[in-house]
Amino acid sequence: MGIEVAVRGLTKSYGTRNIWQDITLTLPAGEVSVMLGPSGTGKTVFLKSLIGLVEPEQGSVLVDGVDMVRSRERDVYEARKTFGLMFQDGALFGSMNLFDNIAFPLREHTRKKESEIRRVVMERLEMVGLIGDEGKLPGEISGGMRKRAGLARALVLDPQIILCDEPDSGLDPVRTAFTSQLLIDLNAQIDATMLIVTHNLDIAATVPDNMGMLFRRRLVTFGPREVLLTSEEPVVAQFLSGSRSGPIGMSEEKDAAALAREAEAPAPGPLNAVPRKLVPQLEPTPGLPERQAVRRRRERVRGLLDDLPPAARHAVEADLAQDRAPLPRRTSTARRDAADPQAPTLAAGRAHPVGAEAEPKERS
Ligand SMILES: Nc1ncnc2c1ncn2[C@@H]1O[C@H](COP(=O)(O)OP(=O)(O)OP(=O)(O)O)[C@@H](O)[C@H]1O
C-alpha cells in the first residue's frame, strides 16, 4: 500500500515573492488526491517541494519518518525512491526509444538483469496501453502517448507515492477521459498514494478521493472530494464552473476595482456559473481489482462527518448508504438525499460555504 504524506505549515518564497504559505494537509495512504488552482498559484512548486526538489523556508513534509525539507540529503535521496513522478511533457530522453526511456530508472538504480528489466518494462507498457510502441522515439509519437510513456517510467521502481503534474495538458477531451480511467486503474492495481495537479474539471470531478485548491498564496481547502465539489466558496465555485465572474481573473487575481465593477454588472448568461452535477467517481475497468482505497476512505471519512459542511456531509452520507454498510447516524437523511434529484450540484449555490464555521479540519 502507498504511504501517507504529511505536509505541515509549508511556506515557499522566491526572493521576496511568496508563492504560498502555511500549507497543511495530509495525502492519505493509497488514496488519490487532486490539487487544483489557477495558473501560477504554485501547484508545480508544491509538487516539487514534496520530493525535496524545491526547498521551502518553513514547514515539513513527512514521508515514512523522513522530513523531505530538513532531513539529511542522503535520507531525502533514499525517500525519493518511494516516489514516481510524471511530468507535464513526459520528460523523456529524445534520443532513446520508449523501451530504453522506461528501462532507464531500472538500469540506473537497480542491479536487475536485462531479462528482468524487459519483463518489468513490458508489464508497465501494457498498463499504459503502449505495447507495440516500445521501439518508437518520443518525437515519433503523440503528446498523449508521451505522457503515458512518462507514467510507465514513473512506475518501474514500484513507487508508493505517484505525483502527476497536469496529466491532461495538451490532450483532447477523449484522451483526457482515457487518462482519468488510466489513473483510477493504476490506483486499483498498485494501491499507491497519488497526487494529481490539474486544471481539468472532468478529472477533478471524477478521479480523486480528496481535493484541494491553491489560491492567493493559501490552501483554500483540502479534504474529501465532496467538500470541494459542493463548496460555495466563491473562488472554488468560479473555478469549478469555469465562470469569468468571481475572484479569479486573467492575471492570477482580480484587483478590488474589477471585482467591484463586476458586482455592479455581473457577466451575462453563459459567462456565469454553469451548474455541474456531483457525478460519481470513476470505478476501475471491469476485470481489474477493486480499489482498496475506497473502503479505507469510507471508514476515514465516516469519522469526519460531524466536521463537514452540510452539503458535503449529505453527499458523503449518500455514498456511505450506497455501500450498505451500517451508518452510525443520520441513515434516513442519507437515503433521502441519495434519491433527491436536487442533491448537491457544483456551483449551484445550495451548498454550505466552506467558511470559518464550516470548514472541516484537515486530519490524517
Ligand atoms: N525557480 C524559480 N524561481 C523563481 N520563481 C519561480 C521558480 N519556479 C517557479 N517560480 C514561480 O512560482 C510561481 C508558481 O509557479 P508554478 O509553475 O508552480 O505554478 P502552477 O500553479 O503550476 O502554474 P500552471 O498551472 O500554469 O502550470 C510562478 O509565478 C513561477 O514564475
The phi, psi pair for 168, rounded to 5°, reads -100, -10
2-21 pLDDT, tens digit per residue, is: 999 999 999 999 999 999 99
Give the CA-trace dihedral at 55, 57, 63, 64, to 10 degrees: 120
> What is residue 176's predicted lDDT score, i.e. its pLDDT?
85
- The pLDDT of residue 52 is above 50: yes
DSSP state letters, 91-139 = ---TTS-HHHHHHHHHHHH----HHHHHHHHHHHHHHTT-TT-TTS-GG
Q: Is the Cβ atom of 38 under 6 angstroms away from ligand 1?
A: no
Q: How far is the CA of 241 from the centre of ligand 1 (A)?
A: 24
Parallel/antiparallel/unpaired status of strands 276-277 and 345-346: antiparallel
- The pLDDT of residue 350 is above 80: no
Q: How far is the CA of 15 from the centre of ligand 1 (A)?
A: 13
Asked if 42 and 36 touch (Cβ cutoff 8 Å), the reply is: no
Q: Is the Cβ atom of 39 under 6 angstroms away from ligand 1?
A: yes
C-alpha cell at 206: 471524477
Residue in 223, 341, 17 with CA at minimum distance from that of residue 231: 223
For residue 32, count CB atoms less than 10 angstroms from its CB and return exposed for 0-12, middle for 13-18, buried for 19 or more. Answer: buried
246-280 pLDDT, tens digit per residue, is: 777 765 555 555 555 555 555 444 444 444 568 88
Q: Is the Cβ atom of 19 under 6 angstroms away from ligand 1?
A: yes
Q: How far is the CA of 14 from the centre of ligand 1 (A)?
A: 10
Average pLDDT value for the chain: 81
The answer, yes or no, to whether ipTM is higher than 0.90 is yes
23-27, 267-271, 290-294: least confidently modelled range: 267-271
Residue in 29, 190, 51 with CA at minimum distance from that of residue 120: 190
Residue of the nearest CA to atom 24 in ligand 1? 39
Q: How far is the CA of 21 from the centre of ligand 1 (A)?
A: 14
Q: How far apart are the two ends of the chain, measured CA to CA in Å?
A: 16
Q: Is the Cβ atom of 18 under 6 angstroms away from ligand 1?
A: no
Whose grid coordinates read 456559473? 273
Q: Is the Cβ atom of 44 under 6 angstroms away from ligand 1?
A: yes
Asked if 61 and 6 touch (Cβ cutoff 8 Å), the reply is: yes
User: What atom of ligand 1 comes closest to residue 37's alpha carbon?
Assistant: 21
Asked if 125 and 134 touch (Cβ cutoff 8 Å), the reply is: yes
11 bridge partner residues: 58
Q: How far is the CA of 32 from the centre of ligand 1 (A)?
A: 23
Q: Which domains does the chain have, with CATH numbers?
A: 5-224 (3.40.50.300)
C-alpha cell at 205: 470531478
Q: Is the Cβ atom of 93 under 6 angstroms away from ligand 1?
A: no
85-89, 261-265, 331-335: least confidently modelled range: 331-335
Q: Is the Cβ atom of 43 under 6 angstroms away from ligand 1?
A: yes
Residue of the nearest CA to atom 3 in ligand 1? 14
> What is residue 364's predicted lDDT score, i.e. its pLDDT?
34
183-242 pLDDT, tens digit per residue, is: 999 899 899 999 999 988 889 989 999 999 998 889 988 999 999 888 888 878 787 777
> What is residue 83's predicted lDDT score, i.e. its pLDDT?
92
Candidate from 10, 11, 14 with most ligand 1 atoms within 8 A of CB, to mutate: 14
- The pLDDT of residue 100 is above 90: yes
Parallel/antiparallel/unpaired status of strands 58-63 and 161-165: unpaired
311-325 pLDDT, tens digit per residue, is: 889 988 888 887 754
Q: Is the Cβ atom of 37 under 6 angstroms away from ligand 1?
A: yes
Compute the distance between CA of residue 230 and CA of residue 241 in angstroms, rounded to an integer. Answer: 12
> What is residue 277's predicted lDDT score, i.e. its pLDDT?
65
C-alpha cell at 237: 465555485
C-alpha cell at 309: 459542511
Candidate from 12, 45, 195, 215 with most ligand 1 atoms within 8 A of CB, to mutate: 45
Q: Is the Cβ atom of 53 under 6 angstroms away from ligand 1?
A: no
126-181 pLDDT, tens digit per residue, is: 888 889 999 999 999 888 888 889 888 988 888 999 999 988 877 788 878 888 99
Whose grid coordinates read 483510477? 184
Q: Is the Cβ atom of 41 under 6 angstroms away from ligand 1?
A: yes
- The pLDDT of residue 349 is above 70: no
58-70 pLDDT, tens digit per residue, is: 999 999 999 999 9
Residue of the nearest CA to atom 1 in ligand 1? 14
Asked if 31 and 297 touch (Cβ cutoff 8 Å), the reply is: yes
Buried b (16+ CB within 10 A) or exposed e, 216-240: ebebbbbbbbbbbbbbbbbbbbbbb
The phi, psi pair for 206, rounded to 5°, reads -115, -20
> What is residue 361's predicted lDDT score, i.e. its pLDDT?
34
DSSP-derived 3-state class of residue 314: helix
Instruction: Determine the residue type at 145.
Output: M
User: What atom of ligand 1 comes closest to residue 88's alpha carbon?
Assistant: 27
> What is residue 324's predicted lDDT score, i.e. its pLDDT?
59
